[in-house]
Structure 1
Amino acid sequence: MLKFDTQRDAYHDFADLLDTTIYQPLPDEWLVGITDVVGSTSAVAAGRYKDVNYAGASAIAALGNAWNSFDFPFVFRGDGAAFALHPDRLETATAALRQTVGYVRDALQFDLRAGLVSVKEIRSGGNDVRTARYSASETATYSMFAGGGLNWADQQIKVGKYGIADNVTDTSANLKGLTCEWAPIPSQRGEILSLLVEPCDHSKSAMFKVLAKQIVAVFDAGEGHSHPVPSGVVITKDAKDYLGGAAWADVVANSDYRRYDDILRLTLDCTADQIGMVETLLVPARDRGDIRFGLHRQSHALMTCLVPSTDKGSHLHFLDGMGGGYTKAAEMLEAQWPQQALSR
């Protein structure tokens, strides 16, 4: 049961994951967890991009280390994370998350919001949680989420429901393998784009699939599929040893630069013309009430690495934009919500 999601076959073409009808529902008894940095917009404005991303990925590292396995559904969201777990793991997860909240507070001076809510409760609110798996390489597989449940849970937790981190005193989070030591990665093609596209109605999957595939096709037509991590970089022996003997090509292949977690979430190295082409698709769709979107342009990308062990294939790399990235893009997207955007 603990591998309900990770036993499923993975898709090798990211475009396949844009068809949310292929996603499978999680059982009612499973739980969804959400973390996010309170005040991330202010932290980004102060230039603390790396710290925000480190705090954002911290829950993933803490949970995987607590369970001694990263074989669970999770997604990095820039200033936070989302994940799902079997109820048998609830006690361990709660302890690990509380420790992480304490660590982030004391080490980074951030308030990390954390909450857990059952899939059954999410469904009672009119949303769903479905998952699919994307094989980015032979050794790196990422989970994707659909159904609107993550976004619903995120909004509920932001207004104070389902929280699990009040009065935290323990700061002993095990974040082994999590690092942000790589230098910022400059754009090779013009601009690093952080793009978020959210369907207004998660039940209208056919419409969103067509639009999302058009967007991805524009970037896939670019050099290197607009991947923000350049190929051909020579890394030091120490860096290679840290990655378990992996070469730079493995880093590129294992990078998590595009995902779907109720929102199409992309970090890309692209041209101004490509951005313009995509905006001609996005703006009419937004004006029709089909989608909300946010984007942010910057000169560099940031890479946060998770290397749980020294096995060659055991490394994942989360991408975000250095100039505000997903946090700034989310600010634009949330301004389009029908109700006042919740504070970040």
Structure 2
Amino acid sequence: MSVHFYKDLKSTDNFKTLADPGLYTQLPDDWCLAVSDVRDSTNQIKDGRYKDVNLIGASIIAAICNSVKETELPFSFGGDGAVIAFPGKYRKQAERISKGCRKHARENFNLNLAAGVIPVSELYEAGHNVLLAKFQTSEHVSQASFMGDGVLIAEEWVKEKSEADTDFSNSSEIDLSGLECRWNPFPADELAISLIIDVAEAPIEDQFDIYQSVLEGIYQIFDDRTSSPVKEKEMELTFRLKNLWAESKLRSKGGHINRLGYFLKLIFLQLTGYIFMNYDISTNKTDWGDYKPDFIKNSDYRKFSQSLKMIITGSPKMKDKLSYFLESYFREGKLVYGIHVTDSTVTTCFVREYQRNHIHFIDGTGGGYTKASVGFKRRLKELSEMQLSTVSE
């Protein structure tokens, strides 16, 4: 069994090269995918629950990573859900964890989480594919890039299974250590743009060619050095009680007293964190002056997760140029896209060690990716109708 497949995978430190098919390797067929999706997330976010949606969407990543410590695992976060791959020998363990995540979402957040495990071999037998590349964001943290249609099919299969499976008796206690949301929103200088781009059906080589052209076009509009949505000068630890209470519900175990105790502990940690970071204090395990610069390097504001997803900042003029550029590709039937614009971004963090080993899932404030998916789905339907019209003619 290829337990260390991802750990040993060659990486790139240049995001733009992730549109090169030569960097991708097929996920071994003795691995599995675990996927999650918060159902009815659009309406939940309309009700102001985007932090809850983000935390529950990412819960399967933290729970499986905390359980499978033998090797490095590839994962990707999508705002209201996630995907993570792992060696097949952990399948039963991951299935119990998936049920545990669903149970936790329902009982503590009143959210319906679809989550489950799909063996990669079943996807391959059905004619689907899962390709993987590795983007090294810093010395200690990498970001997985998933391509091929296998992840989308796995999501569809898991949603179908979850609707029929309401028995949580085989669920396990989940460890969500490291899953945090302790920062205020990061204000954009002008606009924060949440972007989803998916190349229309085509041979995989043609898909990569289009992605390469799209990335080149995007970075002709936006400066790669300044388009990151997270700036060190804008980073402020949150003391908003609503946000801290969300983490308390997520991480505390037991009843209301334990939850209140965790909440009070969290306020204390925020106060000490503020002092340590602002005065560059070092403790036995952590040089806190490094945390913010490492945070920026390890932020996943751009990624390939079956489609290209980005959170970029720029001016209204840049946004209009981007829309015009993508619309031209859409009208040619080459891709489908969705855009949502807001004035700031938020993060959900997975911290394994405060010294360098932490990754930060960036989303637009108010559910940027989820709201961008509304326009994406509308254009996807429109493209299908355009293709049917062409065939009928």
1:218 equivalent in structure 2: 220
Matches of 2:235 and 2:197, distance apart in 1: 34
- 3-state SS, counterpart of residue 336 of structure 1: helix
Q: TM-score, normalised by structure 1?
A: 0.90
Q: Which of 351, 354, 358 pairs up with 1:315?
A: 358
Matches within 5 A, 1:130-209: 130-158=131-159, 160-161=160-161, 166-169=166-169, 170=171, 172-188=173-189, 190-201=190-201, 203=204, 204-209=206-211
What's the offset of the Cα at 1:301?
Answer: 0.5
Residues 3-18 of structure 1 aligned to structure 2 (within 5 Å) = 3-18=4-19
Count of residue pairs the alignment pairs up: 337
Name 1:331's counterpart in structure 2. Answer: 374
SS of the residue 2:328 aligns to: helix
Structure 1 vs Structure 2 CA RMSD: 2.5
TM-score normalised by length of structure 2: 0.79
**Whole-Å separation in 2 of the counterparts to 1:234 and 1:11:** 27
1:238-296 deviation line (CA, Å, top 9, x unaligned):
25489943331111111111000111000112211221222122111111111111110
Structure 1 unaligned residues grouped into runs of 5+:
none
By how many angstroms is 1:338 displaced?
4.5
Task: For residue 340 of structure 1, report the CA deviation from its aligned partner.
Answer: 11
Aligned-partner Cα distance in 2 for 1:321–1:229: 11
Question: Who is 1:80 aligned against?
Answer: 81
* Cα shift at 1:205: 2.5
Larger Rg: 2
CA shift for structure 1 position 219 = 5.5
CA spacing shift, 1:34–1:234, aligned 2, 3 Å: closer
SS at match of 1:256: coil
Alignment of 1:252-267 (within 5 A): 252-267=296-311
In 1, Cα distance between equivalents of 2:235 and 2:40: 37
1:69 deviates by: 5.8
Report the Cα distance in structure 2 between the residues aligned to 1:3 and 1:162, rounded to whole angstroms.
Answer: 30
SS at structure 1 position matched to 2:379:
coil
Q: Give the conservation status (yes or no) of the 8 Å contact 2:186–2:234.
A: no
1:106: how far off? 1.1
SS at match of 2:198: strand
Runs of 5+ consecutive residues of structure 2 not aligned to the other structure: 237-270, 385-393
Matched position secondary structure for 2:380:
coil
Q: Retained in 1: the 8 A contact 2:346–2:363?
A: yes
Q: 1:219 to 1:252 in 2, by over 3 A?
A: farther
304 and 273 in structure 1: CA distance in 2 versus 1, 3 angstrom threshold: same
* Higher mean C-alpha displacement, 46-55 vs 206-215: 206-215
Q: Which residue is equivalent to 2:273?
A: 238
